[in-house]
Each structure stands twice: as structure tokens, then as C-alpha cells.
Amino acid sequence: MDVDATSADLFTRWSNDETRADVASRIPARYESGVSDPYATVLLSDIKTLLLPLTTQKAKDAFRLIWLSIMGLHIPGFANTLANGTWDDRWSYTHLATVSRLSSIFPQPGRIRQLLADSHAGALIGREREYGSAFGPVKEWSLEVFGPLDWVGKDCWRMWTVKDIQGVQEEFVRAIFNQLRCGAEDYRWDVYALAFEASINVKRLGHISLASNRTDCR
């Protein structure tokens, strides 16, 4: 991030600190070890009115995928299946605001240099047009058109690649996969977990056990 951490202005430094915190973490500060702030503690009375029972598998799946989306793992088409555009769905697109994604969408000035023609013996000869992959930093399609482990094209574009998980807190996401697994045969959730690990390091998949002590999803 291009911010001035040594500014003499207190408000500027405060703004820079908040900006860095927004990029570095999407979870409350109280989750971090060594942070003891009584005003950051969330009491049951604070969220009691927001609690609701999830009885159907569809509702449980939506709850789990919302967690992944908030943590920065974008699931194309997911937000469109929840409502008819009558609510604020910006939480599902926070991944586009990361530094790595913005630099991919908007390259730095001066880095783009394209030659349209070559000069040979004083004559300009146009270059042959080259086509790249249709997929880029912005991925969007209807839900489940491609599975988490499906890949497309010679570049093996998938739902999540190593670029898509930059800035994602890996251990926290692993805890989500572990805690929100429903039963011993929750294969659909396991596929998402495998896709996440594969985006980090495919070689680690051979050492990952999907066995979990969690036998239900309440």
C-alpha cells in the first residue's frame, strides 16, 4: 500500500492505520491473540435479535458460503441466489478491493506498452493479433456452472487460484471448514475445502485428512 506511515498529522496516521487494518484483516480485532479490549467484546444480548434457527440444508449451505465470501473467497453467482437485488450485497464483492486484485485490474501507469506495428525497410507491418485467456481477475458466472475443482482452458482457470487467496487468513478459513462441516458425508463442503487447499499448494492435498470430529451442523 502506498501510504505515508511517518506523517506528522495525527488524523493522517490514524486513517493510514485504519486502511492497513482493513486490508490485513476482515475479522474482529478481538480474534487476534494478545488483544484485550473490553469494548471489542460482543455480548449475547448484542446479537440475540439477529440469531435464527437454520433448519433446512439450503439455509445451512447459504450460511456457510456467506462465511467464505466475507473472508474473501469469492463464489461466482452466489449472491444472486439469495435475494432479488433488494439488499446490500457489497459484502460478497470485497475481494475486488484487495491490493493484489486492484493491481491486476488496473496495472500501474507505464507498465502497459503495446506495439501495434513493426517497421521493416521503412514500411509499417501490422502485428498478428494474439488472443489470451478470457478469464482474468474478475470471475463471475451462475452458481454451480463450474464446480470448485473444475478448470477451464490451457491456463487451468479455476474458481480459486493462488492469486484469489492473497490476503485471505488461511487458518481462520480452515477453522470455518472444520466447524461448519455437516456430518461425515458432507461431500459438497469437502470439495470447497479441497479447492481452497489446492489453491494454496496442490502437494499438500496428499496430507490432508477430511476426517472431522464434527458430526452435525447446528
170: left (phi over 0), alpha (psi -120 to 50) or beta: alpha
pLDDT at residue number 68 = 93
pLDDT at residue number 195 = 93
Which residues in the chain land under pLDDT 70?
1-7, 21-40, 84-86, 107-117, 119-120, 124, 126-135, 155, 203-218
The backbone torsions φ and ψ at residue 80, rounded to the nearest 5 degrees and listed phi first, read -70, -15
- Over its C-alpha atoms, the chain yields an Rg (Å, rounded) of 22
Segment 3-36, tens digit of pLDDT? 555 667 888 888 777 777 666 666 665 555 555 6
pLDDT at residue number 214 = 46
Report if pTM > 0.85.
Answer: no
Domain ranges within the chain, ordered by starting residue? 54-106+139-207
Residues with Cβ < 8 Å from 213, sequence gap 6 or more?
Answer: none
